[in-house]
A and B are shown apart, each in its own frame.
Chain A
Amino acid sequence: GAVVSQHPSWVICKSGTSVKIECRSLDFQATTMFWYRQFPKQSLMLMATSNEGSKATYEQGVEKDKFLINHASLTLSTLTVTSAHPEDSSFYICSAPDRDGYGYTFGSGTRLTVV
């Protein structure tokens, strides 16, 4: 079945540095990738939708200059958290619609801790 590989699984970084999270669709082409931020035991917050070859669409309240999204190919979408601060510490997860249009495949998530 469709697989989205997300790396890294966890990362610890210092305040002020940038962190890049990658999501690769391994056996299908993901023209669309959703990026979510998750809070413990709570809902996923959709941050942005990336589309291959075009600019990402950001949700209201999400700083596009802080959360840079690139979808340069049909198999790779990246989220870069720039100038990270402790409040950016969270669990980030990506998701792509399956080929059949019914389901979604989620990445395994990235736990970011900013110290």
Chain B
Amino acid sequence: DQQVKQNSPSLSVQEGRISILNCDYTNSMFDYFLWYKKYPAEGPTFLISISSIKDKNEDGRFTVFLNKSAKHLSLHIVPSQPGDSAVYFCAASGMNRDDKIIFGKGTRLHILP
């Protein structure tokens, strides 16, 4: 049973437009959510996170929105740039510092010229 779901395996967006990556989770005990970015042949790198006490966190071109009632979060990238082409993982963890982080399967983002 997947606790963290990224239902779109891939997404293509025109350069300069907004990229929206979606993620759903099932476990209401999750209270910390993260997005990772992965280039080919590299490990995932941390991008941005959000705590359940917030509904929005912004860092430059990246904004994560959290809708707890819908158990849904999204990552917005605006404007999209060629270097944003990568696989993006949504992840979630519980309240404790040592809780495991559960990953989604990833969404492959293609930024079109």
Contact = CB atoms under 8 A, between A and B. Distances in A.
Do A and B originate from a single complex? yes
Interface of A: 1, 34, 36, 38, 40-46, 91, 95, 98, 100, 102-106, 108-109, 111
A43 B105 contact: no
A1 B2 contact: yes
Contacts of A34: 43
A80 B102 CA distance: 22
Interface string B73-113: 00000000000000101000000011011110110100000
A46 B40 CA distance: 12
A103 B98 CA distance: 26
A104 B36 contact: no
A105 to B, nearest CB: 6
A44 B44 contact: yes
B4 to A, nearest CB: 9
Contacts of B42: 46
Interface of B: 2, 6, 9-10, 32, 34, 36, 42-46, 49, 87, 89, 97-98, 100-103, 105-106, 108
A75 B66 CA distance: 36
B101 A43 contact: no
A91 B2 CA distance: 20
A104 B100 contact: no
B97 to A, nearest CB: 6
A91 B108 CA distance: 25
Nearest to A102: B9
Contacts of A95: 103
A91 B103 CA distance: 14
A106 B103 contact: yes
B36 A102 contact: no
